[in-house]
Chain A
Amino acid sequence: MTSVQKQDLRLFDDHSVLSQSLFRPENHHALFVTHKLGTSPAWLINALLETHILGAPLTLNESQASAINTANRRLANAVTRSTKNTAIASWVHNSEFFHSALGKLKIDPSRYKVHDYLSDFVLKYHGKTGQKILKNLVQELTAEPKPDFLILEQPELLLHLLNISSDELHLDFINQLTKIIPLIVIVSYTEAYDNPGTDTSERISANMIEQIRFSNGCVFKSIAVLGIRPLKTGRAKDVTGTLTITRGGASLSHLPIEVAENEYLFQTQKDTTKLFYR
């Protein structure tokens, strides 16, 4: 794929990944990232984190060595980034996963905060009331220093871990967070959602309904939806999958930017991801 021109990732029409206008204190926004079996969103999460911490998604389209060089230069210019607080909360990965990914760019762990909701979550919260736990989680996630950018990885697992409905999860958790944090990114696994069997149209299980309601709620709340999925034709050696950027249900009319709707092909190999057009 050397002949194919690499493309920079841009989510908004001001050629930015995370536009500065999103972080105005009076505004609160959400992005929704969906992914499927076979295409883990780790690279996109890293790209978004890098963008917020270093100003650009350095590992995209670049080799590991050149990304580290650029990261070092940008980290030296630390003054510009010191005011930003970044946080990640994950229900499927522990903090080590993120530390090792971001550690490759020598980003100091003090520049971001990882809320590890994989380790001991069940032992800590099993059998307790969902609402109280959600309140606790909101308090933990918005504790000082308050983050201005938060990534939630698979919060839909809370539906089952706490045995709550999607409405409760939205009202008591997602909505509470969006009221406080300027930009949150919800990363969700939608393999089951997109893939209901042909005979399920008549009888959909209660779990599936909750999952669909949760995903729909996220789509309507977010300004942009980033969908990662494998190629429809199956596995290919030179393409991993597609990244589709579409507008979400929330309006951006109060801001001078628009979502740059687009579809990229991407290839992830070892630690690098390359983006290009079809």
Chain B
Amino acid sequence: MSFRKRGEVLGGPGANRVPTLGTAPGRLPYRRTPGADELGNMTDRMGGLSMREAHGQTDSTAATQAPQIDASHPGVRPSPATSQLTTSTGCQDLDKLLGHMGLPLGQTLLIQEQSATDFSSVLTKLFAAQGAVHNRADGSSAFSKGNTHLVALTLNQSFAKELPGVYQGSKKDVKRSKVSNTESKITVQNTLESATSSQIAPRDLKIAWRYGLNDKSKNVAPSNSDIDLENYPNYAHQFDITSRLVPAPTSAELTLISPTQPLPAVLTQLQSVFQKYPKKIIRIVLPNLLHPVMYPPSYSQLSEVISLLHGIRSIVKQNAERAVLMSTISTDLYSQTGGQVITTVENLFDSVIDLEPFPQEMSQFLSRVYKSQPNKIQHGLVHVLKLPLLSDRGEMHVMRSEYAFKNGKKKFEIEPWGIPIDDTEVQDSKSTPETLAEEHSHTRVSLDF
């Protein structure tokens, strides 16, 4: 007989006890959870502990789930538009805007930003963080094996530490998940509770079965997003930009390449990443492209810029089945009038999106209109210049001022843009007919009965 504290977690190193307990008839080793989904979650929480491994069997599915760039990759799904394999950008609204529910593999995305704001850096961090989360989706072994690798062309050595963490939900949700976490752990107390609850459960279930109460899945028609969530549970995540991804990606997950090196060195380093990780999706991030702080003065010449981008594009296209690229550039640094840098850079990307933050007057107007709903205040316009694959085959997708974006703690939202109605103006205009009506109130009174 062993003496254990009530709250002490059973298992741990001796986890192989779990299935043997489970095989004992009439006895439940762990807390009974209602529904298979919960069970799935529980095995997830147990750190990807495989029941078959515990039995000492060789896990045949593990071989098929090994990092291969096919539909089994957690961060990959077919595009609804072209059925080409696509990966999430980390921002679900941007995924939708691109028309493929993500960025198709082998495609490049440029995010331009006007004026001196830095909204685009949020998108690059989300893009990188999403890659890191995909990499860890398979369990704790992700650090050594993994399915995704990040490459950032930046001088910022702490790029990895700045990536946002996955949004855990509101404070209530966090508390709830903590409670369910502790409940799901195999402690003496929990097993006792589950044993008692299991005795009562069959009776309840019997009634529930008779009235079809337990049959939720058939009754409720799932929405599109639910289907997506079911089919691709780890495809896209929501990030909280005020938190940090813990643990931060290490050199096994992220390769930093310095843009100050000579051009051939940059390209060969990038190529070597593809050779080093032959079965991983490679997410390339070029934050603040051509920013004078990071890029040497020689990059102000078009010949150098085009050579860099042409070389990178060639590497992405050569590895089209497992490479995606996102880059950001400030258009104010290289304006349209100062030469043809922006137009030529745009030309070398498959998809281009332009962020135009609102000028101060517009922001003031919006904050006045949405005084009672500060969550609705947008921060700028989104112009679509090119969409991946679709623009390349000749479709016209230049959409200016059709969408607006707003950046929040837990989401970078892109929504259709419409100028809101200023209530104060409406009231002013309303007040004039009212006053007129008051003036003529004599006649109305006389007619009223």
Contact = CB atoms under 8 A, between A and B. Distances in A.
Interface of A: 37-43, 91-94, 96-97, 101, 118-123, 126-127, 154, 157, 160-161, 163, 189, 191-192, 195-197, 199-200, 205, 207-208, 211, 230-231, 234-235, 240-241, 268-271, 273
Contacts of B385: 37-38
Contact of A42 (B337, B386, B394): B394
User: What are the 8 closest A-B residue pairs judged by CB atoms, nearest first?
Assistant: A197-B337, A192-B340, A122-B311, A160-B306, A268-B394, A38-B398, A205-B339, A192-B343
B336 interface: yes
B45 interface: no
Contacts of A195: 336, 343
Contact of A92 (B268, B337, B347): B347
B317 A37 contact: no
Contacts of B318: 94, 119-120
B396 A39 contact: yes
B337 A123 contact: no
Nearest to B336: A197
9 contacts: A38-B391, A40-B391, A121-B311, A122-B267, A126-B307, A157-B306, A208-B340, A230-B396, A234-B400
A98 B311 CA distance: 20
Nearest to A158: B306
B389 to A, nearest CB: 11
Given A122-B263, A199-B337, A163 B303 contact: yes
B431 interface: no
Nearest to B340: A192
Contacts of A199: 337
B317 A161 contact: no
Interface string B326-345: 00000000011111100110
Contacts of B336: 195, 197
B343 A230 contact: no
A38 B337 CA distance: 20
Contacts of B268: 123
Interface of B: 263-264, 267-268, 302-303, 305-308, 310-311, 313-314, 317-318, 320, 335-340, 343-344, 346-348, 385-386, 391-400
Contact of A230 (B267, B306, B320, B398): B398
B217 to A, nearest CB: 35
Given A37-B343, A122-B264, 17 more contacts: A38-B398, A93-B317, A96-B320, A97-B392, A118-B313, A118-B317, A123-B314, A126-B307, A163-B303, A191-B347, A192-B343, A200-B337, A230-B396, A235-B396, A235-B398, A235-B399, A271-B393
B346 A41 contact: no
Given A157-B306, A160-B344, A122 B314 contact: yes
Contacts of A41: 394
A41 B385 CA distance: 16
Nearest to A38: B398
B98 to A, nearest CB: 16
Given A38-B396, A40-B393, A192-B344, A160 B311 contact: no
Contacts of B338: 205
A189 B308 CA distance: 19
A157 B252 CA distance: 36
Between A154, A163, A207, the greatest number of chain B beta carbons within 10 A of the residue's beta carbon is seen for A207
Contacts of B399: 235
A157 B394 CA distance: 20
A138 to B, nearest CB: 20
Contacts of B313: 92, 118
Contacts of A94: 314, 317-318
B97 to A, nearest CB: 15
B147 to A, nearest CB: 24
Contact of A123 (B302, B306, B311): B311
